[in-house]
Amino acid sequence: MASTTSRTARRTHGFTESVIREMTRVANEHGALNLAQGFPDFPCPDVLKEAACAAIRADINQYAVTWGAPRLRAAIAASYGRWYGMEVDEAREVTVTCGATEAMASALMSIIDPGDEVLVFEPFYENYGPDAILCGAVPVWIPLDTDRPLDLDRLEAAVTPRTRAIVLNTPNNPTGRVFAPEELAGIAALCQKHDLVAFTDEIYEHILYEGTHIPLATIPGMRSRTVTISGASKTFSITGWRIGWIIAPPELTLAIRKVHDFLTVGAPAPLQEGVAAALELLPDDYYAGLATQYRERREALVPALLEAGFRCEPPAGAYYVLADFSGISDGANLDDDAFARWLARGADGRLERGVATVPGSSFFHEPALGRKLVRFAFCKRVETLREAGEQLRRLAR
Ligand code: GLN
């Protein structure tokens, strides 16, 4: 064991394999309903399939421009104008990446120096931990209660002379929390006061149950210091296509494009054409419909969780529920890992079919903080969610 460790880089020793992806393997092993990894079990809109197939038939098989096919960058810039009134220069401010995952990693590596402190709200999407380690950043975890407004004084107290940036994710994975306009304004003021760069993961921007999404970059004074990350995975239900993007001011984009190029060369060329067509052709109704369908899915799952004995709040956005299982008598003594595996196996025969979730500790730097939590993903057909609900209600019997 020791010799294996010594042959690998120290930067890989500080984190484990993704727990989210591992739970998909556990789900498959037990034939469980997979409410663990956040990927849809329903098809994407036809326009994407047709445009991507047409691109392949037209022999768009070679590298696209490293930082993104011109048509896709133009479509992204136009979309931000239409959705948010945000002016984006596709020539100098857009980088198309292999998903928002690569976007966050490339952006942090381009801007953060080893030893820089980066503020990250907790619970956090598990990638941000390894992302910080890979670029030598020191993550500073900021606890964020779901039921109380952001404590701006506590946030400011975490700022030191080494603080370079803040990472935020709204709508949030795993809590479903959506930052209110006043909270975003507070974060924006803090960034300007302490000269911080904001990395904002907005991949769930169109999955919102009330109100409208406000990109941090649209708050006065923030455009020049915000790295906006999003992508097509969630909006168009194509998590396997790996098409994400970064919008950042030209100076930051120059650095980001270099890192992105040497890591990946670029995102899949024909699939970029598919996403460009979707952004060009789908009407505003599409985005409203997406949110409506997700509301139905949320309604199919959350009441069943409550009836089963979980404690949880309906999320305000994104498609996850972080649920406390300490009220479930048979599982209450287990920790989150054991509980998630027990549930995926079928809860010792109490369920006809297991339900896979993600152990809560993977969203906290201190595993103890998530020991009584599991995350359910509801980016699934209503039938899948109803079936999961039926199974989970058996826990209360
Ligand atoms: N974002 C999704 C989740 O949290 C998928 C993660 C992944 O596997 N890339 O489940």
Q: What is the pLDDT along the chain (397 residues), one digit of tens a residue?
A: 445 558 999 999 989 889 999 999 999 999 999 999 999 999 999 999 999 999 999 999 999 999 999 999 999 999 999 999 999 999 999 999 999 999 999 999 999 999 999 999 999 999 999 999 999 999 999 999 878 999 999 999 999 999 999 999 999 999 999 999 999 999 999 999 999 999 999 999 999 998 889 999 999 999 999 999 999 999 999 999 999 999 999 999 999 999 999 999 999 999 999 999 999 999 999 999 999 999 999 999 999 999 999 999 999 999 999 999 999 988 889 999 999 999 999 999 999 999 999 999 999 999 999 999 999 999 999 999 999 999 999 999 8
Q: Considering only CA atoms, which residue is closest to atom 2 of ligand 1?
A: 38
Do residues 212 and 310 both lie within one domain?
A: no
- 51 lies in some domain: no
Give the atom of ligand 1 at the shortest distance from the alpha carbon of 358: 10
The count of structural domains within the chain is 2
Give the atom of ligand 1 at the shortest distance from the alpha carbon of 36: 10
CATH number, residue 301: 3.90.1150.10
Q: How far is CA 261 from CA 41, 107, 118, 226, 266, in A?
A: 32, 12, 24, 21, 6
Residue 148: CB partners within 8 Å, gap ≥ 6? none
Do residues 123 and 266 both lie within one domain?
A: yes
Q: How far is ligand 1, taken at its centre, from the CA of residue 37, in Å?
A: 5
**In angstroms, how far apart are the furthest CA atoms of the chain?**
60
Do residues 190 and 246 both lie within one domain?
A: yes
User: Which is nearest to 318 in space by CA: 205, 179, 214, 200?
Assistant: 205
**Side chain identity at 199, as an amino acid letter?**
F
Tell me the best of 18, 34, 37 to mutate to test the pocket of ligand 1, counting ligand atoms within 8 Å of each CB and taking the most.
Answer: 37
- 128 lies in some domain: yes
Do residues 365 and 239 both lie within one domain?
A: no
- 204 lies in some domain: yes
Do residues 292 and 329 both lie within one domain?
A: yes
Do residues 117 and 216 both lie within one domain?
A: yes
Q: Which domain holds residue 254?
A: 61-282
Q: How far is ligand 1, taken at its centre, from the CA of residue 212, in Å?
A: 23
Q: How far is ligand 1, taken at its centre, from the CA of residue 20, in Å?
A: 6
Do residues 383 and 239 both lie within one domain?
A: no
173 in contact with ligand 1, CB cutoff 6 A: yes
166 in contact with ligand 1, CB cutoff 6 A: no
Do residues 298 and 233 both lie within one domain?
A: no
- 54 lies in some domain: no
- 168 lies in some domain: yes
Q: Considering only CA atoms, which residue is closest to atom 5 of ligand 1?
A: 38
- 56 lies in some domain: no
274 in contact with ligand 1, CB cutoff 6 A: no
Do residues 11 and 33 both lie within one domain?
A: yes
- The DSSP annotation for 97-161 comes to ESHHHHHHHHHHHHHPPTT-EEEEEES--TTHHHHHHHTT-EEEEEE--SSS---HHHHHHT--T
